[in-house]
Structure 1
Amino acid sequence: MPSDNEQIAEIFDEIADLLEIEGDNPFRIRAYRTAARNLRALNKDVRRMREAGEDLTDFPGIGKDLAAKIEEILDTGRCRALEKLRRKVPPDLGELLRLPGIGPKRVHALYHELDIQNLEQLQRAARDGEIRELSGFGPKTEARLLEAVEKHRDSERRFKLAEAARYAEPLQAWLEGGKNIEQVVIAGSYRRAKETVGDLDILVIARDGRQAIQHFTHYEDVDTVVSSGSTRATVILSNGLQVDLRVVPKVSYGAALHYFTGSKAHNIAVRRIAQKKGWKINEYGLYEGDKRIAGETEASLFKQLGLAYIEPELRENRGEIEAAREDKLPKLIKLTDLRGDLHCHTRASDGQGSLRAMAEAARDRGLDYLAITEHSKHLAVAHGLDSDRLLKQVDAIAELNDILDGITLLSGIEVDILEDGSLDLPDEVLDRLDLVIGAVHSQFNLSRKQQTERILRAMDSPHFTLLAHPSGRLIDKREPYAVDMERIIHQAAQRGCYLELNANPDRLDLLDSHCRLAKEEGVLVSINSDAHSPAAFEHLRFGIGQARRGWLEKDDVLNTRSLTALRKLLKQTRQ
């Protein structure tokens, strides 16, 4: 099962959303959001804490009231406060919150001022020009909301990769513990490390198919069994994620794995290669007439077709077939190739860990160096650092480096790129740092030309090292801002600075296509966790998946270098 911490955090987030829609006390709302954030940052499970006799009120942000709710959820799986709130608001309001660019405050205004309770009413109000009349909205916001509704209604529900992983990995472990099950793999878009997942396709080899299916359908997080047979079953998990399981024979395992991994476009391209040879390929194997000539492993399929093995993340029919035929596939980066992380936050701004805690957590992940990059003063909501606070942190980092073993801290800043392209802190302060990460955190609605010129001017700063989360998107919450990414990447190549692949699962930004373009232009990419807590270095694995989808190799990534080599590269960015 997913951790108790995550489930309780989701409940507290929903309570905060509903309280905000109701216009409740902002301090009460903030208490729930803080508790949810702290629960996710905690390195141990609250259930085990309670069983060990620990007082939950000792945990930051948890008072007696919230501790009592945690106890209730642990004991019953329910929260009466949440159920009461759900009864007070229309049931479809929560669907509005899933639209990009609309949060609880805007839902509050739409509901209380226009009595909008669902997507259909929102769509109609936007078409009728009613939303633009509300304070804080306007014609552009109205148009974006209308577009978001139409996109949402046309698409299936999808889950961010990290959310899918929280449910997929415990389920995989449960299946691997089955007595008759010999092998388990999750296929589909999950295996290809897509940013979002519609459902899960799981393949197993089992000595007894019916027992394997029974073991699967009795998993404790299964909410509904849709179908169940001797070799396949479909269930819906408690979070609404559909899971399809297939029991396949060992002799067809590779063919089935290739077929159900996809993508559809890749599979069609492979099928055409087989057809040109007079063969056929399906989920059971590769056949010449009635004779199976390959299929027990994926490697046997590719070899028989005259192709090098193609990693799952590349299977999108975007040149991987041709590269495999010519033996020119990239040797994709692995998580173990990373030597450091160049973007994280501590309690000094909006993080949850101390300098030492973040350093030790990074070291425990096998990293050799970690850049501390708080927000700058312009981002007041994140308690951004002014010059004095930043310089004090530089001194604190130097002192800590004197006593740390096994890891080195670098001093940096995630400095706001202001609307005119200037940086949020003076040059003489930035000059004291090991690296400067520039980031856009405001004015997302500038024109494509304005946004591009803004970023290009920032990159011309002699202190600029790295562009953070370059498109500014938040998956399913905020669309990328309009920017000419080709010009940005070309300028980075000319200027000699770098681009970030932000591994936070809500961002995964650079896009995979832009990773590939950066590679072609010779621009190094830094895969960073953007960790706000010691546990969040886990994000790096999702960044690696995105990098692999973008064809990146070890040498294409800045933070695969040793600390000595990295320092030389950072120095070169200073003009």
Structure 2
Amino acid sequence: MSNKELSELLNLFAKLIELHNLNPFKAKAFANAAFKINKYPKEILSLPENEILNIEGIGKGILEAIQEIKLHHTFSELQHLVNITPPGLFEILKIKGLGPKKVGVIWKELGVESIGELVYACNENRLITLKGFGEKSQNEILEKIKFLLSVQRKYLFASIKKIAEEFVTHLKTKHQIQLVSSVGELRRMCNVIEKAEFLIGTEKFNEFKNEEPPFDIDFKLHFCKPEEFEYHLLKLTAHPKHLAHINTKHCELLSEKEIYAKNRLEYMIPPMREGETEFEWQKKYFVSEIVETQHLKGILHNHTTYSDGIHTIKEMANRCKELGYHYIGISDHSQTAVYANGLKPDAILKQLKEIEELNNQLSPFKIFKGIESDILPNGQLDYPTEILSLFDFIIASVHSALKMDETKATERLIKAIENPFTTILGHPSGRLLLSREGYPLHYKKIIEACAANHVIIELNANPYRLDIDWKWIYYAMEKEVLISINPDAHHIGGLEDVQYGIYSAQKGGLTKKFTFNTKSAKEVELFFLQKKAKTLSDKI
């Protein structure tokens, strides 16, 4: 073991002591010894004990640790702290400028145990409420996380989309050609991108040999004859499972639409070409029915300064109007979400009054009164009936006690779905892409429960969620369950995340008919009123 590796082990021990708020003097001693060992000119593990003890800063306790390391490549005290530390915290400790004491505060105060959860906490402005943090440090942490994630050679589609588009424009401009396109995962708009591929229709391949990739992931430029561009565009875009259904023999000079037509198929948009349910889908629906951004009349699931949002209700509503929407749904966090300044009953009454006043001012634009109610571990919602009955709509979501097996998670969600006050099931799996796996669910049972109870399923458009996964959209449509594409916005910029929800919806073939927020404000209001009236009448 090299001095550098030995130093890293001792330094890790020092960090974990601080993280767990143990003996600060011991932490300092091990950190100092790690520094000295890293700079020492001889290999420490090859030295006799008396020579090691002569090194400044190394006493008997540290020597004992070094002796254990020599035999076992670790030592018992370190291993104990490793065993009681959530695995994701080791990644957080790699973020420059975020020391173990601050990581400990984030972990213990907010329950954050992974990079993804930290990103989400920053996006929901939870760090700025902690001692020693502010908006500036929160933004700096986000930037450092983006860098850390990028070196793992995977990107969220949302973070790479603009770079890919700029690269295509660069190639077209520099080389004076038009036949350039992204292909593969990028053109299919996959949630996570592992390989960036581009197709160029040109005979002058050598002109591109010095092009530098704009990403730190697998990268490839494909070339073809200009007259065969669309043939190769189709073959390089589609997943192999999709291509297995397409006969491309003798199609080199045909367009994508002509190749599909030759196979007696309607043209299929690139995001759908995954080899999943798209061919079954096409027997019942037309591509012209697929939902697009301009079909959305309003957006639900938005947070404000009442809980953990940055902007006021009025600011969120005005931005929504500027974007061309006719309504917005305000759904701040419920009281159990103390980490997000969840609303107590008195704050709810104040907020509802403000919304009524704003509706008078902004009419005909409509602000719907909602709440994102935590689904408690027992499946109950977060308020008693007299509070729940005050809202126009209720999004039921899981935010805590995420470690569940499939049976527990499915039962918990179904109990919430069966609550007559639940209007929308929020981000069903609880996943954070590239960071946290969702809890396991029996999706068919969840979707069937929503169908039986007339509950809408959210497609959470936050690029870190995109939850419900697009693969379950077709089954939801089969069961006639409506999907609401919601941005889960915590600031005015977040309202535009709805676009990523559209991409995911298109992958699953979601049609305008089954997209809840393609309804007008009047239609949404009627839907909410009818569901609420039935709920209250059943309670009598």
TM-score, with length taken from structure 2: 0.70
Answer yes or no: is the 8 Å Cα contact 1:182–1:207 preserved in 2.
Answer: no
Deviates more, 1:246-255 or 1:428-437: 246-255
SS in 2 for 1:342: strand
In the alignment, the residues of structure 2 paired with residue 355 and residue 515 of structure 1 have an alpha-carbon distance, to the nearest angstrom, of: 31
Residue 474 of structure 2 contacts residue 509 of structure 2 at CA under 8 Å; is this kept in 1? yes
Measure the CA separation in 1 of the matches of 2:122 and 2:371. Answer: 26
Residues 295-334 of structure 1 aligned to structure 2 (within 5 Å): 295=254, 297-321=255-279, 328-330=285-287, 331-334=289-292
How far, CA to CA, are the matches of 1:455 and 1:515 in structure 2?
18
**Equivalent residue, structure 2, for 1:496:** 454
Q: State the 1:28 CA deviation.
A: 11
Q: Which residue of 2 aligns with 1:535?
A: 493
Cα contact 1:401–1:408 (8 A) shared by 2: yes
Alpha-carbon deviation of 1:347? 1.7
Match of 1:512 in 2: 470
Q: Aligned runs of 1:282-301 on 2, under 5 Å? A: 286=251, 294-295=253-254, 297-301=255-259
Structure 2 contact 93–99 (Cα < 8 Å) conserved: no
**How many Å apart are 1:499 and its aligned residue?**
0.7
Match of 1:22 among 70, 80, 100: 100
Decide whether aligned partners of structure 1 residues 495 and 321 sit closer, same or farther in structure 2, where only a CA change above 3 A counts: closer
Flag the 1:340–1:322 CA change in 2: closer, same or farther, 3 A: closer
Structure 1 residue 309: Cα displacement: 0.7
Q: Letter of the aligned partner of 1:464 in structure 2?
A: T
In structure 2, which of residues 222, 227, 231 is the aligned counterpart of residue 251 of structure 1?
A: 227
Task: Give the structure 1 partner of residue 358 of structure 2.
Answer: 400
How far 1:244 moved relative to its partner? 2.4
Q: Provide the aligned length of Structure 1 versus Structure 2.
A: 423
- 1:390-445 CA-to-partner distances (Å, cap 9, x unmatched) read 12111111111222266321110001111112111222122111110011111112
Q: CA deviation at 1:246?
A: 3.4
1:192–1:261: 8 Å Cα contact kept in structure 2?
yes
Contact 1:529 1:540 in 2 (8 A): yes
Q: Per-residue deviation at 1:332?
A: 1.5
Q: Distance in 2 between matches of 1:164 and 1:384?
A: 33
Instruction: Verify the 8 A CA contact 2:460 2:468 in the aligned structure 1.
Output: yes
- 1:300/1:442 CA distance change after superposition, 3 Å: same
Question: Is residue 437 of structure 2 the alignment partner of residue 479 of structure 1?
Answer: yes
In structure 2, relative to structure 1, the CA distance for the partners of 1:183 and 1:406 (3 Å cut) is farther
The alpha-carbon distance between structure 1 residues 62 and 494, as it changes in their structure 2 partners (threshold 3 A), is closer
1: CA distance, partners of 2:490 / 2:334: 15
* Stretch of structure 1 that moved more, 261-270 or 196-205: 196-205
Supply the distance in 2 between the matched residues of 1:28 and 1:440 (Cα, whole angstroms). 20
Residue 315 (structure 2) pairs with residue 357 (structure 1): yes
Deviation (angstroms), 1:525: 0.6
Larger Rg: 2
* SS of aligned partner of 1:373: strand
Supply the AA of the counterpart residue of 1:517: Y
1 CA distance for matches of 2:354 and 2:381?
23
Q: Contact (CA 8 Å) 2:203, 2:226: kept in 1 or not? A: no
Q: Which residue of 1 aligns with 2:243?
A: 267
The Cα shift of 1:253 comes to 1.4
Aligned to 2:156: 160
Deviation at 1:183, TM superposition (A): 3.9
Contact 2:203 2:224 in 1 (8 A): no
Q: Which residue of 196, 202, 217 corresponds with 2:198?
A: 202
Distance 1:389 1:163 in 2: 36
Q: Secondary structure at the match of 2:174?
A: coil
Shift of 1:179: 5.7
Cα-to-partner distance string for 1:85-126 (whole Å, 9 max, x where unaligned): xxxxxxxxx99x87xxxxxxxxxxxxxxxxxxxxxxxxxxxx
Secondary structure at the counterpart of residue 445 of structure 1: coil
Give yes or no for contact 1:41–1:536 (8 Å, CA) kept in 2.
no
Question: Given that residues 348 and 383 in structure 1 are in contact (C-alpha distance below 8 angstroms), is that contact kept between their aligned partners in structure 2?
Answer: yes
SS at match of 2:416: helix
C-alpha separation between the residues in 2 aligned to 1:262 and 1:21? 45
Identity of matched residues, %: 28
Counterpart CA distance in 2 for 1:252 and 1:22 is 56
1:13-412 to structure 2, matched below 5 A, reads 17-24=95-102, 61-62=135-136, 157-178=153-174, 180-205=176-201, 211=207, 213=208, 228=209, 235-237=212-214, 240-270=216-246, 273-274=247-248, 280=249, 286=251, 294-295=253-254, 297-321=255-279, 328-330=285-287, 331-404=289-362, 407-412=365-370
Q: Which runs of 5+ in 1 are unaligned?
A: 1-12, 43-59, 71-78, 83-93, 99-155, 214-227, 275-279, 287-291
Name the Cα RMSD after superposition. 3.5
Do the aligned partners of 2:197 and 2:220 also contact (CA within 8 Å) in 1? yes
Aligned in 2, Cα 1:177/1:314: closer, same or farther, shift over 3 Å?
same
SS in 2 for 1:269: coil
Q: Deviations over 1:509-555 (max 9, x none)?
A: 00122211111100101010001111112211111111112221000
SS in 1 for 2:451: helix
Matches of residues 540-559 of structure 1 in structure 2 within 5 Å?
A: 540-559=498-517
Whole-Å Cα distance in 2 between the matches of residues 319 and 446 of structure 1? 29
| Structure 1 residue 172 displacement after superposition | 2.9
Which residue matches 1:88? none
**Cα distance between partner residues in 1 of 2:202 and 2:316:** 43
Counterpart for residue 435 of structure 1: 393
Give, as a single letter, the amino acid of the residue that structure 2 aligns with 1:513. Answer: K
Local SS of the residue matching 2:390: coil
State the SS of the aligned residue for 2:432.
coil
| Structure 2 CA distance for partners of 1:391 and 1:161, relative to 1, 3 Å | same
- What's the offset of the Cα at 1:208? 6.0
When residues 174 and 401 of structure 1 are mapped into structure 2, their CA distance, relative to the original with a 3 A threshold, is farther
Confirm or deny: 8 A CA contact 2:447 2:481 kept in the other structure: yes
Change (3 A) 1:209 1:407: farther
Closer, same or farther in 2 for the Cα pair 1:502/1:322, shift >3 Å?
Answer: closer
What is the aligned partner in structure 2 of residue 456 from structure 1? 414
TM-aligned CA deviation for residue 188 of structure 1? 0.9
Contact 2:93 2:100 in 1 (8 A): no
Task: Note closer, same or farther for the CA distance 1:357–1:417 as it changes in structure 2 (3 Å cut).
Answer: same
CA 183–536 in structure 1, closer or farther in 2 if over 3 Å, else same: farther
| Distance (whole Å) between structure 2 residues aligned to residue 298 and residue 305 of structure 1 | 11
SS of the counterpart of 1:182? coil
2:482–2:515 CA contact under 8 A, matched in 1:
yes
Mark the runs of 5 or more structure 2 residues left unpaired by the alignment. 1-90, 110-114, 126-133, 536-540
**With structure 1 as the length reference, what TM-score do the two structures score?**
0.66
Distance apart, 1:474 and its partner CA: 1.0
**Distance in 2 of aligned mates of 1:170 and 1:360:** 31
Equivalent residue letter for 2:315: A
Q: Matches of 2:379 and 2:105 in 1, distance apart? A: 35
